[in-house]
Amino acid sequence: MNYQDKKERMRELIDKLNEASKAYYAQDREIISNFEYDALYDELQELEKDTGVVLAGSPTMRVGFEAVEELPKERHERPMLSLDKTKDREALAEWLDGKEGLLSWKLDGLTIVLTYRDGRLEKAVTRGNGEIGEVITGNARVFKNIPLQISYTGELILRGEAVITYSDFERMNEEIEDVSARYKNPRNLCSGSVRQLDNRIAAGRNIRFYAFGLVKAEGVDFENSMEKEFVFLAKQGFDVVEYHKVTSETIVETIEYFEKKIEDYDIPSDGLVLTYEDIAYGESLGRTSKFPRNSIAFKWQDEIRETELLEIEWSPSRTGLINPVAIFEPVELEGTTVSRASVHNISVLRGLKLGLGDRITVYKANMIIPQIAENLTGSDMLEIPKHCPACGGETEVRQVADAASLYCTNPDCAAKKIKSFAHLVSRDALNIDGLSEATLEKFIGKGFIHEAADIFHLDRYKEEIVEMEGFGEKSYRNLIEKEPAEDGKVSSIETARHTTLPRFLYALGISGIGLANAKMICREFGDDFEKMLLADAERLSEIDGVGEVLAGAFVSYFQDEENLRRARALYTELEIEKREQTGEGGSLTGKSFVITGSLTRYENRNAMKEVIEARGGKVTGSVTKKTVCLINNDIASNSSKNKKARELGILIMTEEDFISQYLSE
């Protein structure tokens, strides 16, 4: 059995064993005997021992779930540059200039850098701005196909693309009943999934990783061959982007192969990448200020169709922003029928000089997102609505950053209410299961809900609600009933009364304040809501993860008397959990620490972090001048954090030494 066959057999065993475990432990049924399970498990262990590779999801190495307060940032060892681009096939042949190249997919997801040491995944960092990315190691460990252990034990650094397939994207969207809440495209879903603060969410998204570049592999001779680097990565258990060796004579034919394949290719791609096979030659060409000269991207020629603009649909949101959407005569684009395209904002709309009846050309950006390419008529006869289509209130055009956008000025706009309430009851906010946008729309329309606190008094309308279409006694019981059922089950709304202060703050929908920011603010003020209300923008802006813009939005929100009244009304309906606080008396108050590497006394870093924070200390993701000490059981390590600590003269302590010095009293 060759290596590839062994890897495929390992995947089969992992799927079968995990399916059997799920059936036995979660569904109380047995699909294979214990004897058969043990035999398959032993076979998997032998294959892992033989290959030196442990694939993601293997029952021989379970990955625990973890949550973080924020994603720490880290500088890349080498800057990650963008690629120069062309849509000209012949230009690629000229670019090769008689040399061999590798032509591969340019996948459309989120670029990730992985670092392995001693055969184990140590770190995963997003591309970020090319120089500094976000550390997402916990999420990477639950990707569908990343090897957690490899046979190579030196330091290995590689780059690849995290993606969500079209089939998984469509499956996840089908599970969301509310059409407006569905994900827009696989790339955005992948980007958000990779950067989740809780890796349980990432684990459910079927994120896959495809390697496309080797940065470092100490002590390995690749004989100056890019292809041999790819072969090496594949032998370590990585899925490598599909590639083909090409010359100036064969490249156009190979592009045609990819072009045919993309029609039903399940992995999002927005083009191809051509790289010199000769590594030394490619590196000798150097780079420009923006692009490396050893690679170039090929972008597909956009399929463009001419059609007629029928109308502009104006779509209000919970923030008051009214988005223009172009409706045109349906056309076939990239194999699907398209009749709508976002126009984004007033600036774009005016730039296109749109008018009803204009002849326009449309295309799919990256073969996915419909866009208007050009207005052939340019009548510029479109009127900007003076009244909101949802409530009839007056509208105004506001300049936000570099773009002009249309807003509804009516604070009681029905669209604002529905979207705001949908946010309020969402999973990371009050988490009221069963209160969908469609249900909210019905309740608001009937006057049952005017403000957030009203949600907790829907029992006043029991008779009307149980008679509503789609409702009944059971639905009412599960969503609204105040008293527990005979089996002790509590309704979704009553369950939501028990929450945390960060969730409450996030639920209010303050512009820019996410759950992570809310947690930072709450921690700073010891979960004291009244103290927060007294803080000014300058005080708030000093909090990590907040800054001047968010601080200003926070203060402005509560300076509005009606916002404050409604927030207080909602607050009185809730039972806020009191998290353990130490205040100024904590033994670690004012001290900042960084934790890295594996721990022995604590279950994980989060467990140690909670102990430090309970004593008033702070745990950050990167070493700075403010860091009191770096906690790392491998003091002699040459990791980036250890190096940084040494540069700054920051003490590096083992877990035991830290406990002895700081936690023993």
Task: Supply the residues annotated as catalytic.
Answer: 106
DSSP state of 118: T
Alpha-carbon distance of 198 to 193, in angstroms, equals 10
Residue 524 in tokens: 């700073």
CA proximity to 116, closest of 44, 214, 50: 214
Which residues lie closer than 8 Å to 529 by C-beta, 6 or more apart?
501, 571, 576
Phi, psi of 191 (to 5 degrees): -60, -45
Three-class SS of residue 22? helix
Alpha-carbon distance of 103 to 106, in angstroms, equals 9
Alpha-carbon distance of 327 to 325, in angstroms, equals 7
Phi, psi of 633 (to 5 degrees): -65, -20
Residue 665 in tokens: 């009293």
Of how many residues is the chain composed? 665
E strand or H helix at 159: strand 156-163
Instruction: Tell me how many degrees the CA angle 526-527-529 measures, rounded to the nearest 5.
Output: 120
User: Which contacts (CB < 8 Å, 24+ apart) does range 487-496 have?
Assistant: 492/432, 492/433, 492/434, 492/435, 493/432, 493/435, 493/455, 493/456, 493/458, 495/432, 496/425, 496/430, 496/431, 496/432
For residue 371, list its beta bridge partners. 363
CA proximity to 511, closest of 259, 337, 306, 320: 320
CB 448 within 8 A of CB 486: no
Q: Is 49 exposed, middle or buried (0-12, 13-18, 19+ CB in 10 A)?
A: exposed
Residue 132 in tokens: 């500094």
Alpha-carbon distance of 236 to 149, in angstroms, equals 9
Which residues lie closer than 8 Å to 383 by C-beta, 6 or more apart?
none
For residue 630, list its beta bridge partners. 594, 652
Alpha-carbon distance of 260 to 255, in angstroms, equals 9
CB 395 within 8 A of CB 386: yes
CB 64 within 8 A of CB 604: yes
The alpha carbon of 610 is separated from its chain's Cα centroid by a whole number of angstroms, namely: 25
Which residues lie closer than 8 Å to 139 by C-beta, 6 or more apart?
124, 193, 194, 195, 196, 199, 202, 207
Place of tokens 């496309």: 212
Q: Which amino acid is at 140?
A: A
Q: Which amino acid is at 650?
A: I
DSSP state of 564: H
